[in-house]
Chain A
Amino acid sequence: MTETLDLSLYVQRADDGAARMDLAIEGITCAACLDDIERGLARVSGVKQARLNLTTHRLAVSWDDNRLKAADIVAALKSIGYGAYPFEQRRVEAEEEARTTWLLKCLGVAAFASMNIMLLSVSVWSGDVSGITQETRDFFHWCSALIALPAAAYAGQPFFQSAMSALRARRLNMDVPISLGVVLALGMSVFETLHHAEHAYFDSAVMLLLFLLAGRYLDQAMRRKTRAAAGNLAALKGDVATRLGVDETGAETLTIVPVGALQSGDRVLVRPGERVPADAVVMSGASHVDESLITGETDRRPVESGANLYAGSVNFDGALTLEVTAAASGSLIDEVGRLLEKAGEARTRYMRLADRVARLYAPVVHVTALLTCIGWLLAGAGLHDALITAIAVLIITCPCALALAVPAVQVVASGALFRAGVYLNSAEAIEKLAEVDCAVFDKTGTLTLPEPRVANAAEIEPDLLALAGRLALSSHHPLAMAVAREAGRQGPLPQTTEKAGQGVEALVDGDWARLGGAAFCGCEAPQDEIGAASALWFSWRGRAVRLLVRQTLRADARAVIDDLRAKGLRILILSGDRPAAVAPVAQTLGVADWRGGLKPQEKIDAIETLKAEGRRVLMIGDGLNDAPALAAAHCSLSPITAVDMAQSQADAVFLGEKLAPVTQAVEIARKAQALMRQNLGLAVIYNVIAVPLAIAGYVTPLIAAAAMSGSSVLVTLNALRLRAHAINTPVENDGGEAKSRLALAERTSA
């Protein structure tokens, strides 16, 4: 029975009949890869066009599908050294992209308008000194109006729309005073121009839009970059399933399909060591499954026909035939779904710093403007002059610096987080992260590595361990896969044979190297207690070692816990695993507050208790059972290996095998928060100086323009100080698992 890789789900048809597909590419390190990949594919006959996007690490390829199959292209890329997997753009990402383009268009219009209006305004200002006729000034003002009105109507849309939706919801956000300021400035300027007055504020209105749009565009571009990188990682997981089918002759076929192509009722084959691709019922076969990603439980559960399995469980020892079920069912998933719904309702709308400021700021400013108008009227000024002064107050307080204070820091901070391997899911994550004072960890897959490892690797001679790892690469047994991680960068041994139920062997330098059970390797198993570990033996040239495979802690777990504690966070461990399995971990990490054997509801209860004590909880977890707790916590993080349901609840995900991104995230977020406050302080100082001038009626368009650009540059420069703090940690490539899957796909398609 041969297996074929079927990627037709991702293939699209171009107008000229050629097939086309987008691929996420892994392993791009420098610009030379661009040539490598494009030329490499051009040499494959049948490929029409291949174009790599070096910014997003994606490849668009079109080919003649009479001569090539999609799987051949993946195989061709693999042969020149790049991992690739078809990529389907998620809806969120498409929306982000559309919004980025829209903001860039608005920015272009605002830039054009402000440059041309400034040209005219500078002429008027210098004319006011050197002598300008009234006709010429009116002509220049009318030209400015001609540019400013349509440009503001177009480029102001992001602010007007946001302000309208906030007002409709009876809230105030920063866009309300901005929109009001722009509209009033333009209206007053038109009125003044009609009456041949000396001052018009067209330049201020358009320049305000330009500065703010630049800030929003940069923020958006950063978010888009994060989304693209996260999308690539999701695609490169390359989750595939082996689907059983029947061909025309009635013979059984095996097709490797992307998980997305599975439909309910499909029968799939899951071999030992493979992941269950979708929620399913066992049709035949018996095995043990590792559900640590689902429940946090590290003990394997025996299953036989009729049992329900969750997507993400790992099949341990026997081949299983499953039938995919329509909707996930089972007591756990129902419970998690119900709890998530409740947590979602309870999650109070988080009020961002900028919005909190806007809520205070807008009324103050508007009342000040009103009082100015009344004050001038009482002082005997005419209605016209009083109104003009009041509007000048609104223009000068128009929160350019205030509105840039937060986004400018946000851009720099999310860039720093991106480099540290933390990808933000939500915009308010930075502010929420900065506020946490209590960290709750899940154990399995969060404090420990998601996959089992050789626990006693340090006690084994390195050359023997590396050899065992290379031999293990040829096996698909789950224990052997843990040993295979010790092979490092070396390839598998040639000509290995796997003996079912016993182990693998290969001839190395004339001697048999064997990896498997004690009897297979000719060793005697000692009768000592090895706890939750599984033992595997390796022998070569009379040297024999016992390899203990078990869940191991992330290398820097202790250091991270200590660091978080030094930052003033209270540390807790809440695990779904048996208390007996949690105790040693808690002891190693020096955490006194720990609980084991918790159900999802009990995790939520524990978090609610902490909240009731006034704590702001950071929850870090990866399992399906953690998802409700992630939603209930003030802020939440997930490792990239977490189940989809957990990742979608988390405020951010982190990459790599280390836990260090967690402390870095807290550190960067706190610095960002401090800078945001500083910036808001600077903006307030600016207003304290400028507003009295405006109230006194001394503000001319020239002063308004200078004050606005000066304060904006100041807060932007202050935000850039965060770059000096940014920690440049190279992120470990997290494609290990993806590589093994791709190797599998390649082996079967060859």
Chain B
Amino acid sequence: MNILVFMVPLALLLGLTGLFAFMWSLKNGQYDDTEGASHRILSDDDVKP
């Protein structure tokens, strides 16, 4: 059962990484225009030929 001492904190760390990613994306304005983002992905203006 000693493996738990290692695995449980690791699971928590992974969860925290997810939480921080969410907070970062929120701060970064990723949710400001959810409607527009779904269409912008189809535009290839940023691809250099």
Complex contacts, A53 vs chain B, CB 8 Å: 32-33, 36
A115 to B12 CA separation, bound complex (whole angstroms): 10
A105-B23, A108-B26, A139-B5 given; name 15 further pairs at CB < 8 Å: A31-B39, A53-B33, A54-B33, A54-B35, A54-B39, A55-B33, A55-B36, A56-B33, A101-B26, A104-B26, A112-B22, A119-B11, A133-B1, A139-B8, A140-B8
Complex contacts, A119 vs chain B, CB 8 Å: 11
A112 to B1 CA separation, bound complex (whole angstroms): 25
Instruction: Output the least CB separation between A145 and chain B (Å).
Output: 13
A143 to B26 CA separation, bound complex (whole angstroms): 27
Instruction: Output the least CB separation between A105 and chain B (Å).
Output: 6
A286 within 8 A of B: no
Complex contacts, A109 vs chain B, CB 8 Å: 19
A116 within 8 A of B: yes
Complex contacts, A104 vs chain B, CB 8 Å: 26, 31
Query: CB within 8 A of A116: which of B5, B15, B22, B40?
Result: B15
* Interface of A toward B, CB cutoff 8 Å: 31, 34-35, 52-56, 101, 104-105, 108-109, 112, 115-116, 119-120, 133, 136, 139-140, 143, 147
User: Closest residue to A58 on the B side, CB-wise?
Assistant: B33
A328 to B31 CA separation, bound complex (whole angstroms): 42
Instruction: Output the least CB separation between A670 and chain B (Å).
Output: 31
Of residues 2 to 35 in B, which have CB atoms within 8 Å of A's CB atoms? 4-5, 8, 11-12, 15-16, 18-19, 22-23, 26, 31-35
A101 to B31 CA separation, bound complex (whole angstroms): 9
Q: Total interface residues on B, using CB and 8 Å?
A: 22
Query: CB within 8 A of A52: which of B11, B18, B23, B36?
Result: B36
Instruction: Output the least CB separation between B26 and chain A (Å).
Output: 6
* Interface of B toward A, CB cutoff 8 Å: 1, 4-5, 8, 11-12, 15-16, 18-19, 22-23, 26, 31-36, 39-40, 43
User: Closest residue to A32 on the B side, CB-wise?
Assistant: B39
Task: Count A-B pairs with CB separation below 8 Å.
Answer: 51
Asked if A147 contacts B39 (CB within 8 A), the reply is no
Complex contacts, A56 vs chain B, CB 8 Å: 33
User: Closest residue to B1 on the A side, CB-wise?
Assistant: A136
A50 to B44 CA separation, bound complex (whole angstroms): 17
Complex contacts, A34 vs chain B, CB 8 Å: 36, 39-40, 43
Complex contacts, B34 vs chain A, CB 8 Å: 55
A35 to B32 CA separation, bound complex (whole angstroms): 18
Asked if B36 contacts A54 (CB within 8 A), the reply is yes
Complex contacts, B23 vs chain A, CB 8 Å: 105, 108
Complex contacts, B35 vs chain A, CB 8 Å: 54-55
Query: CB within 8 A of A112: which of B4, B16, B31, B39?
Result: B16
Instruction: Output the least CB separation between B35 and chain A (Å).
Output: 4
What are 10 A-B contacts with C-beta separation under 8 Å? Answer: A34-B36, A34-B39, A53-B36, A105-B26, A108-B19, A112-B18, A115-B15, A119-B11, A136-B4, A139-B8
Complex contacts, B4 vs chain A, CB 8 Å: 136, 139
User: Closest residue to B18 on the A side, CB-wise?
Assistant: A112
User: Closest residue to A54 on the B side, CB-wise?
Assistant: B36
Complex contacts, A143 vs chain B, CB 8 Å: 8, 12
Instruction: Output the least CB separation between B18 and chain A (Å).
Output: 7
Complex contacts, A35 vs chain B, CB 8 Å: 43
Asked if A147 contacts B12 (CB within 8 A), the reply is yes
Complex contacts, B33 vs chain A, CB 8 Å: 53-56
A31 to B35 CA separation, bound complex (whole angstroms): 9
Complex contacts, B18 vs chain A, CB 8 Å: 112
3 A-B pairs with least C-beta separation: A54-B36, A31-B39, A55-B35
